[in-house]
């Protein structure tokens, strides 16, 4: 959805020697930051689970350089009857836009392929006639968070952390049985990407001021198109998943997806040594731009997560989890529950 944005954002692009390439209008996808802002404050109780309010995108001025130079941007959400809430985001959210602009400069022979570049974020207020109330201002009509009351401490008492768990992240609980199913399916499709849909429930502990995810099952993604480097969900994949979810009749919802990375096959094709494979970035916590695109299109809500099953030559299959943190898809820890 669009947000009310009374400023025009742009990137001032520079070559490595600091000569100017020009200032180009730039607008990233604001929605991941908006989603994160809304859900973070819903977790802390400062927004309702419905959170039907107005949202704005505003510049955060650089304290040293001053206006129009920005150190990032801010998402503000105003819900009737509550104090305005906000979250600030760094210029890192413009990296993808900057890369795209740099590619365009290469095609125009203004920048050499592979040449380093830098950029600064600037913002200018739009003319009054373009920011009239009722024009770009919107009311957030996203569905309420489908959370049920639950006690977080009960889940934590029967779970073990996996990876680095950040206290600022929403807790995610995954049954060990689900991980074993993912491991088995990945082995059965060795050398090709395979995957599935993660389903479960959201719990809300009002006393702890937290909302958490409980994955209850994974639905193997049938009718997908998979090869060594890509997994594509088809319309038939979603029809089959919808049918499976309805048949379970357990008040579950889609929480994300998982897929396997055949790292062993990738490294073998490149002739990488075992030592090189141990240090390869593809072996753990790798989430491609295609993976991010799937999240944005199919699982855009801030509580949605992704699991990657890493099939390497030097260890058993390991698991990496990714989720929305401060509006960006980042690796994160989770909790494994046994014997439920």
- DSSP-derived letter for residue 164 is -
The share of the chain scoring above pLDDT 90, in percent, equals 75
Judged against a pLDDT cut of 90, whether residue 284 lies above it is answered with: no
| For residues 242-265, average pLDDT | 94
Which pLDDT does position 272 carry in this prediction?
Answer: 84
| For residues 61-74, average pLDDT | 96
Which pLDDT does position 129 carry in this prediction?
Answer: 58
| For residues 27-42, average pLDDT | 93
Which pLDDT does position 340 carry in this prediction?
Answer: 59
Judged against a pLDDT cut of 70, whether residue 134 lies above it is answered with: no
Which pLDDT does position 1 carry in this prediction?
Answer: 44
- The pLDDT tens digits of the residues spanning 222-247 come to 888 878 888 888 999 999 999 999 99
Residue showing tokens 């009857």: 81
Residue showing tokens 């890509």: 230
Judged against a pLDDT cut of 50, whether residue 148 lies above it is answered with: yes
Average pLDDT, the chain: 91
Please give the class, per CATH, of domain 147-337: alpha beta
Structure confidence at residue 51 as a pLDDT band (50, 70, 90): confident
Which pLDDT does position 123 carry in this prediction?
Answer: 97
Which pLDDT does position 138 carry in this prediction?
Answer: 46
- DSSP-derived letter for residue 128 is G
Residue showing tokens 């989720």: 323
Structure confidence at residue 132 as a pLDDT band (50, 70, 90): very low
Tell me if 145 sits within 8 A of 138, measured CB to CB: no
**DSSP H or E run through 218:** strand 210-220
| For residues 18-28, average pLDDT | 93
18-22, 172-176, 240-244, 282-286: range with lowest mean pLDDT: 282-286
CA distance 283 to 274: 11
| For residues 298-308, average pLDDT | 96
| For residues 64-83, average pLDDT | 95
What is the Cβ-side half-sphere exposure of residue 127, based on CA atoms within 13 angstroms? 2
Radius of gyration for the alpha carbons in the chain, expressed in angstroms and rounded:
22
139-148, 188-197, 330-339: range with lowest mean pLDDT: 139-148
**DSSP H or E run through 307:** strand 305-310
Residue showing tokens 């973070």: 40
For strand 253-261 and strand 225-226, is the pairing parallel, antiparallel, or unpaired?
unpaired
CA distance 241 to 245: 6
For residue 240 the two structure tokens come to: 């089959």
Closest CA to 162 of 281, 31, 307, 65: 307
222-231, 282-291, 293-302: range with lowest mean pLDDT: 222-231
- The pLDDT tens digits of the residues spanning 308-331 come to 999 988 889 999 999 999 999 999
User: What SS3 state is found at 318?
Assistant: strand
What is the number of helices (H) and of strands (E) in the chain? 8, 18
Judged against a pLDDT cut of 60, whether residue 140 lies above it is answered with: no
Which pLDDT does position 280 carry in this prediction?
Answer: 81
For the chain, the structural domain boundaries read 7-130, 147-337
């Amino acid at each position: 959805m669009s947000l009310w944005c009374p400023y025009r954002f742009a990137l001032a692009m520079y070559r490595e020697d600091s000569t100017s390439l020009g200032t180009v209008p730039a607008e990233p996808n604001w929605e991941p930051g908006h989603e994160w802002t809304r859900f973070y404050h819903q977790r802390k109780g400062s927004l309702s689970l419905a959170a039907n309010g107005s949202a704005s995108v505003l510049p955060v001025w650089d304290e040293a350089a001053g206006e129009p130079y920005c150190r990032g941007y801010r998402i503000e959400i105003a819900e009737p009857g509550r104090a305005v809430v906000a979250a600030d985001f760094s210029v890192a959210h413009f990296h993808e836009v900057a890369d795209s602009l740099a590619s365009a400069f290469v095609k125009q022979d203004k920048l050499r392929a592979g040449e380093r570049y830098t950029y600064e974020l600037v913002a200018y207020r739009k003319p009054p006639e373009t920011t009239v109330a009722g024009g770009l201002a919107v009311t957030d009509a996203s569905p309420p968070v489908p959370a049920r009351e639950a006690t977080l401490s009960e889940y934590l008492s029967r779970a073990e952390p996996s990876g680095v768990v950040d206290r600022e992240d929403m807790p995610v609980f995954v049954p060990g049985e689900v991980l074993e199913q993912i491991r088995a399916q990945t082995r059965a499709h060795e050398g090709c990407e395979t995957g599935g849909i993660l389903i479960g429930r959201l719990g809300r502990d009002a006393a702890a001021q937290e909302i958490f995810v409980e994955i209850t099952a994974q639905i193997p993604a049938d009718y997908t198109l998979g090869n060594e480097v890509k997994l594509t969900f088809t319309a038939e994949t979603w029809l089959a998943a919808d049918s499976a979810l309805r048949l379970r009749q357990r008040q579950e919802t889609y929480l994300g997806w998982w897929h396997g990375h055949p790292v062993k096959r990738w490294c073998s094709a490149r002739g990488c040594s075992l030592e090189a494979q141990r240090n390869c970035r593809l072996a753990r916590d790798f989430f491609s731009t295609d993976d991010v695109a799937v999240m944005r299109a199919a699982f855009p809500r801030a509580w949605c997560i992704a699991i990657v099953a890493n099939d390497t030559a030097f260890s058993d299959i390991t698991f990496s989890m990714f989720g929305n943190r401060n509006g960006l898809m980042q690796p994160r820890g989770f909790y494994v529950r046994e014997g439920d």
